Chain A
Amino acid sequence: MPTEEEMEKLKNMSPEEIIELQKQQCIFCHIIKGEVASKKVYDDEKCIAILDINPANPGHVLILPKEHYGIMPVVPEDIIKHIFMVAKHVSAILLKALQAQGTSIFVANGAVAGQKAQHFMIHVIPRMEKDNLNFNLPEKDADEKVLESLRKKLYEKISRDLKIGIEEIPNENPGKPKEKKTVKKEEKAPVKKAEKSKKPKIVEAEFKEKAKKPKQEKKKKAKKEEEVGLDDIADLFSGKV
């Protein structure tokens, strides 16, 4: 625990200074710099991979960005993409070089998720049957209504965060909203049907008339016919006709 004096110091530090202090105290930053010995199995400009000295299984690899990032959300996009592609290849190597029967790829993001070190990393753990490791995810029954309301909430939140237009929220719930839609459709449906049933007849008739002409011309005429048809429908809907 830091003393009161140290706490006072921390309070007066700028965010940059705090990050610098974290780096100085981060064991993995020392490993990356080569100041602390490690079993390094991979090294490139963005990341390194080392063997975990407290392995869950023999061959447990840690993939670390060279730059210090405390948690995953602060890691830049290009680094995230790069290190997980490296993780994929490390997984393949563990299967091949160590004859592992599977791999667990594990990221703990935050202390409650089991993150121990203040340096973001990916665990790639070789797996064998009955190795007594537990990454099992218990399945619980979920209530359909609870799931659906959660889906709506998260869909909107994620779309907003990703800046995706949310005007088209797909509705998989066959409840009330759909009924409303069908009522509206029924009102306008007869007009639409009439328009649709007329159109093909005209087209067919024209096709018969111009049956002797080359195909390409036919296609063009058919397209024009469709365009007019669509406009007509639009006019009908807006009440111009």
Chain B
Amino acid sequence: MACEICGLIKTGKLKKLYEDKNIIAVLNPGPSVNGHIWLMPKNHYTIIEQVPDYIIAHLFNMANKISVSLFEALGAEGTNLIVQNGIAAGQKHSHFMIDLIPRSGNDGLSFEWQPKQLSEEEMSTIELRVKEETKNIGAFEEEKPEPVNMDKEKEILSDEENYLVKQLRRIP
């Protein structure tokens, strides 16, 4: 199924605030508050688990920098970064994104929660299960160097090949 967000990125219909090779930051067309921003990878990923580590690092680093700009430009007193990862978490678009929301005193938003009461046993079970899996966290995926030079070399090679092939044809 075609992704609505990918379409919007390609057609340039979004209000762009920042863009580089991998990511884009735009104004949310249906903002919760004034200055509500989406940061997202330009390539299509549905959930965070699919996004390469280095793009995650870059996206959140930019979210932090843009937060600071929002403090000054909009007089925001704080920001929220929210990722809704999966439909159960309220994800509305099938394109991974970070919601960056500038906050002020009376903006009507609230992301508070009532703490759930868990027994010591329940907490320990969760601890063990999660701890078992986190052993594998370590080597993070880095960006691969650009293959531009390789392409250039290939082009030269193919030209040479053509030339050689022609020479061969002429021999008889």
Q: Counting chain A CB atoms within 10 Å of each CB, which of B17, B61, B89, B134 scores highest? A: B89
Does B4 sit within 8 A of A, measured CB to CB? Answer: no
A108, chain B: closest CB distance, angstroms: 6
Interchain CB contact under 8 A, B130 and A59: yes
Does A106 sit within 8 A of B, measured CB to CB? Answer: yes
Interchain CB contact under 8 A, A55 and B116: yes
Question: With A56-B113, A81-B57, A101-B86 in contact, do A112 and B69 touch (Cβ < 8 Å)?
Answer: no
Within A53-101, the residues touching B (CB, 8 Å) are 53-59, 61, 72-73, 75, 77, 80-82, 84-86, 88-98, 100-101
Interchain CB contact under 8 A, B80 and A154: no
Residues of B close to A82: CB separation below 8 A: 57, 140
Chain-B contact segment, one of A18-26, A140-148, A176-184, A188-196: A140-148
Does B94 sit within 8 A of A, measured CB to CB? Answer: no
Residues of B close to A151: CB separation below 8 A: 15-17, 27
Interchain CB contact under 8 A, A77 and B113: no
* Contact residues of B: prevailing secondary structure: mixed
Q: How far, in angstroms, from A10 to B27 measured CA to CA in the complex?
A: 41
Interchain CB contact under 8 A, A107 and B81: yes
Residues of B close to A55: CB separation below 8 A: 115-116, 118
Interchain CB contact under 8 A, B85 and A103: yes
A117, chain B: closest CB distance, angstroms: 14
Does A136 sit within 8 A of B, measured CB to CB? Answer: yes
Question: With A105-B48, A113-B78, A154-B17 in contact, do A51 and B127 touch (Cβ < 8 Å)?
Answer: yes
User: Which residue in B12, B17, B66, B137 is a CB contact (below 8 Å) of A86?
Assistant: B137
Interchain CB contact under 8 A, A110 and B79: yes
B105: nearest chain-A partner, CB-CB: A112
Residues of A close to B49: CB separation below 8 A: 88, 91-92, 95
A-B contact sample (4 more), CB < 8 A, given A77-B61, A112-B78: A58-B122, A92-B48, A114-B80, A151-B27
